[in-house]
Amino acid sequence: MKNHIVSVGSTFPEFKKLAVVSLDKDKEFYEISSEDHKNAGQWLVMFWWPKDFTFVCPTEIAEFNKKFEDFQDRDTMVIGASTDSEFVHLAWRKNHDDLRGLKFPMLADTSKSLAEELGILEANEKVAYRVTYIVDPQGIVRWVAVNDLSVGRNVNEVIRVLDALQTDELCPCNWVKGEETLTA
C-alpha cells in the first residue's frame, strides 16, 4: 500500500517526539508535541531532510537558523526533522560549525512513524524527502513543498508563502509582504 503525502487542507498528524534543543549537558533533549504550537496559538513550519551528516542538508538548516527571527516575527514555531535519532542529531550539531548554535529543535523521528504518516518516506532507503509544511495555529496544513533528495529548498520562499497565508487575503503571483493584495 502506498502512502499519499499529507497535503493542504488536512489536519497535521499528532506526534510526540524527542528533539535536540541544546548542546548543554543534561539539557540536550526535549519532548515536542503537535500540541505545542497550537497551545501557543502559533503557526508551525516543519521542514524535513533525508539524513544527518550529509551535504545539502546543513546548508538548509543553517539558512532556517539565519532566518529564525523572521519566523519569530511571524509568530511561527520552526522545527527541523529527520528520521535520524536524537543522538545522531546531537553528534551532528556538535560536529558541524553551522549547526552548533541552532535556535530551533531538531526532531528525531527514529521510528519513522511521523514521516510514514505524512507519506514522505522515500521508497528504497526509507528516508524523508525534503518536505516543508506550513501549518496554521489550528493544526491545518496550509502549504506543502516537496523537493527531491538532491535539491535544497528556498527558505525565502517559505517566508514569502507564510506572509501570504497570514494576510488571509488573495495574493497574486510573486507577491511579497508590503505589496497590495487582490480584491475579488
- Give the chain's mean pLDDT: 88
58-75: average pLDDT: 90
Residue 1 pLDDT class (50, 70, 90 cuts): very low
- Could you tell me the strand order of the sheet in which 141-147 lies? 29-33, 16-20, 106-108, 76-82, 43-48, 130-135, 141-147
130-136: average pLDDT: 95
Q: Which of 57, 121, 128, 171 is catalytic?
A: 57
What are the structural domains, with CATH classification, of the chain? 16-153 (3.40.30.10)
**Cell representation of residue 171:** 495574493
- Of 148 and 6, the structure prediction assigns the larger pLDDT to 6
Q: Which tens digit of pLDDT belongs to each residue from 4-55?
A: 899 999 999 999 999 988 788 888 899 999 999 888 899 999 999 988 777 6
pLDDT at 80: 94
171: annotated active-site residue:
no
Beta pairing class for 141-147 and 106-108: unpaired
pLDDT > 80? residue 106: yes
**C-alpha radius of gyration, the chain, whole number:** 16
Residue 123 pLDDT class (50, 70, 90 cuts): confident
Residue 64 pLDDT class (50, 70, 90 cuts): very high
